[in-house]
Amino acid sequence: MADTSLDRYLFAQGTHRRVWQFLGPQPLADGGFVFRVWAPNAQRISVIGDWSHWHDHHPMYRLDGYTIWEVEVPAARPGQCYKLDVTGAHGERMMKADPMARRAELAPSTASILPDHPAHQWGDDEWRQQRGDARQRPLRIYEVHLGSWRGDLHNYRDIAHPLALHVKHLGFTHVELMPISEYPYGPSWGYQVTGYFAPTSRYGTPDDLRYLVDVMHAHGIGVILDWVPAHFPRDSWALARFDGTPLYEHADPRRGEHPDWGTLIFDYGSPEVRNFLIGSALYWMDEFHIDGLRVDAVASMLYLDYSRGPDGWTPNVHGGRENLEAIEFFRQLTTTVAAEQPGALMIAEESTAWPGVTHPVDQGGLGFSHKWNMGWMHDTLSYLAEPIEHRPEHHHRLTFGLSYAFAEQYVLPLSHDEVVHGKGSLVGKMTGDAWQRFAGLRALYGWMWALPGAPLVFMGAEIAPWEEWSETRGLPWHLLDSPEHRGVFDLLTRLNQLTEQWPALWERDRDPGGFQWLDANNAEQSVYAFLRWSHHGWSAVACITNLTPRPHGAQRVGVPWSGAWQVLVDTDARHFGGSGFGRQDTDVEAVDVGWHGQPHSVVVDIPPMSTMWLGAQRPAS
């Protein structure tokens, strides 16, 4: 037997950075596997599996009386199913899946599967070397549910090239995969995980997933994975009461049970549990070359009273509602990932005003690279759902987000959550007749792409389907044959191209000096106008948005420089499905008439329900 004393020590301290190379099934040099499992309170554990037709149990023994159990099984082979027969602390007998399994059967079967040695030959060295600082490059995210992106594609390999070519054509920099850690319940979309080290077998093998990631990298597209450390399901064959006691979950139900989701909450004060979760994060990045994680449900972890009544929670040692153990977990997570995977994205789905989510740990922050701006999403969609005649009284819902836009490094999300459970589709959320709804959606995209913050849209946003998303069917790609749907597709493609060409639209997302209001108060006309600046003010983009179906002809807009300002995009252009109001020329000439606090101005026709961008380089002095 190998000497595992250092591994055991590091795991007990919560600092083992390659825990998947210690726990779970480890291949033996001469064939077979050694199995190791953490179960400090179990009375007995044995391994059983395909190699003996599920007849022979292989009893495990404690390593030097510690909390880790181990046994060698020379007959075990890759691809075979196995389970752990656990006698719990109180004598109860349970057949458990391996928490560290690298593969798992699909529900309703529940066995773990012994892994093959990876055969995939990576070809992405150049990509990983140039990945760089996640905060210093453009970020535009296309969120994907692999099972329903294309109804005819059901394997990681089959999906890889079509998805990469589609995302590259649209101009997104990253795909974000909804959870692919193994999960038993399909309608959970992967947000109730039972296999934190096992890619779901729904779409193929681990090597098939490696192939998909490699293809994405070959096309210059990063891969972000939705990752769920907030909670796990109660399934008796998985993590719940794994050794007959609350092991992975907190023992106090006021901290260990989620009242809304019917799930269990990890014990973030346990070094071993923290190591399990941080090991999972590193595993996806190390073994599958994942470029970042979007960490789900962060707010539910930070607050002890999250979704609980007055008697449903206990305060921390200081009498507060902050979950101090979860805070420490996040800081350890982000610090470890930064050390082990430089340049990796760590994106928090945090829905409250918790301070410093994207601030460095040594400055009191949580250390994430980005945070979802849920407030922006709610304010924007609620405004756009208002009847046109009521919008003036709600005008500042859209300006409010700019009062805090630079407090964090934000992602602006229009995710799958906004197009499910009766919420309808994005185009369906707009008001007015069909033309106004499509125009409103195009104006929203133009507005969103111009704001500080990285845009994220869920698959299908580019074709504007009328029906909401369902995981049971593929997207209605035939809609691209319709001009109004194709216009949305072409607009998103153009917005991504322009964002790449004009650094003013992303370089200073965290810098208040990179944004300047021109007109934030034109509630009467529901018009907004602002400037985005590049580093050192070398270039600027003016964004003008009109959120009524009434055009405004010959409107003066302030700009910083005289000369030609290029109309970069007009969401009302005919080739995007718009009315073509005003027939904007390629350039608009600025004159020496001060306006909106700027020394110069242009006169433009502002189309109905539209967003327009004007761009210029600073003249040589």
pLDDT in tens, 425-456: 999 999 999 999 999 999 999 999 999 999 99
Per-residue b/e over 81-92, b at no fewer than 16 CB within 10 Å?
Answer: bbbbbbbbbeee
**What's the Cα-to-Cα distance from 552 to each of 83, 432, 485, 548, 607, rounded to whole Å?**
69, 19, 26, 10, 7
What pLDDT does 174 receive? 97
Q: Which domains does the chain have, with CATH numbers?
A: 5-113 (2.60.40.10), 139-236+270-310+324-504 (3.20.20.80), 510-617 (2.60.40.1180)
**What's the Cα-to-Cα distance from 47 to each of 43, 223, 297, rounded to whole Å?**
14, 36, 34
Say yes or no to pLDDT of 133 above 80: no
What gap in Å lies between CA 417 and CA 223, rounded to an integer? 20
Say which range, 155-159, 191-195, 306-310, 377-381, has the weakest mean pLDDT.
306-310
SS3 36: strand
What pLDDT does 3 receive? 87
Alpha-carbon dihedral sign for residues 482, 485, 490, 491 = positive
Q: What's the mean pLDDT in 525-539? A: 95
DSSP 554-617: EEEEEESS-EEEEEEEETT-GGGTS--TT---SEEEEBS--BTTBSEEEEEEE-SSEEEEEEEE
Tens digits of per-residue pLDDT, 70-123?
Answer: 999 999 999 999 999 999 999 999 999 999 999 999 999 999 999 999 999 999
What pLDDT does 165 receive? 98
Say yes or no to pLDDT of 65 above 90: no
What gap in Å lies between CA 121 and CA 210, rounded to an integer? 9
Q: Tell me the β-bridge partners of 603.
A: 556
Tens digits of per-residue pLDDT, 23-49?
Answer: 999 999 999 999 999 999 999 999 999
What gap in Å lies between CA 336 and CA 21, rounded to an integer? 17
Tens digits of per-residue pLDDT, 501-513?
Answer: 999 999 999 999 9
- Residue of 274, 163, 256 whose CA lies nearest to 212: 163
Question: At 418, is the pLDDT very low, low, confident or very high (cuts 50, 70, 90)?
Answer: very high
Question: At 136, is the pLDDT very low, low, confident or very high (cuts 50, 70, 90)?
Answer: confident
What pLDDT does 497 receive? 98
What share of the chain has pLDDT > 70, as a percent?
99
Say yes or no to pLDDT of 2 above 90: no
Per-residue b/e over 489-517, b at no fewer than 16 CB within 10 Å?
Answer: bbbbebbbebbeebbbbbbbbbeeebbbe
What gap in Å lies between CA 530 and CA 74, rounded to an integer? 68
The residues, ordered by sequence, that sit 6+ positions from 545 with a Cβ below 8 Å of its Cβ are 443, 446, 447, 527, 528, 529, 610, 611, 612
The residues, ordered by sequence, that sit 6+ positions from 511 with a Cβ below 8 Å of its Cβ are 406
Tens digits of per-residue pLDDT, 260-290?
Answer: 899 999 999 999 999 999 999 999 999 999 9
What gap in Å lies between CA 244 and CA 93, rounded to an integer? 9
What gap in Å lies between CA 320 and CA 303, rounded to an integer? 9
What gap in Å lies between CA 122 and CA 18, rounded to an integer? 20
**What's the Cα-to-Cα distance from 51 to each of 28, 95, 246, 322, 357, rounded to whole Å?**
15, 17, 31, 49, 48
**What's the Cα-to-Cα distance from 38 to each of 84, 330, 405, 495, rounded to whole Å?**
12, 22, 44, 50
Amino acid at site 365: G
What pLDDT does 621 receive? 67
- Residue of 332, 326, 331 whose CA lies nearest to 300: 326
What pLDDT does 584 receive? 64
What gap in Å lies between CA 115 and CA 351, rounded to an integer? 38
Statement: the pTM of the whole predicted model exceeds 0.75: yes
Q: What angle do CA 270, 178, 186 make, to 5 degrees?
A: 90
Q: Diameter of the chain by CA atoms?
A: 89
What share of the chain has pLDDT > 90, as a percent?
95
What pLDDT does 537 receive? 86
Tens digits of per-residue pLDDT, 4-26?
Answer: 999 999 999 999 999 999 999 99
Tens digits of per-residue pLDDT, 323-362?
Answer: 999 999 999 999 999 999 999 999 999 999 999 999 999 9
Catalytic residue numbers?
A: 296, 349
Alpha-carbon dihedral sign for residues 476, 478, 482, 486 = positive
The residues, ordered by sequence, that sit 6+ positions from 355 with a Cβ below 8 Å of its Cβ are 407
What gap in Å lies between CA 281 and CA 13, rounded to an integer? 17
Say yes or no to pLDDT of 134 above 80: no
Residue of 360 and 130 predicted with greater confidence:
360
Kindly state the tokens that stand for 492. Answer: 């998103």
Tens digits of per-residue pLDDT, 152-168?
Answer: 999 999 999 999 999 99
Alpha-carbon dihedral sign for residues 324, 329, 334, 339 = positive
Question: At 147, is the pLDDT very low, low, confident or very high (cuts 50, 70, 90)?
Answer: very high
Kindly state the tokens that stand for 457. Answer: 């849209």
User: Which residue shows structure tokens 């990983």?
Assistant: 128
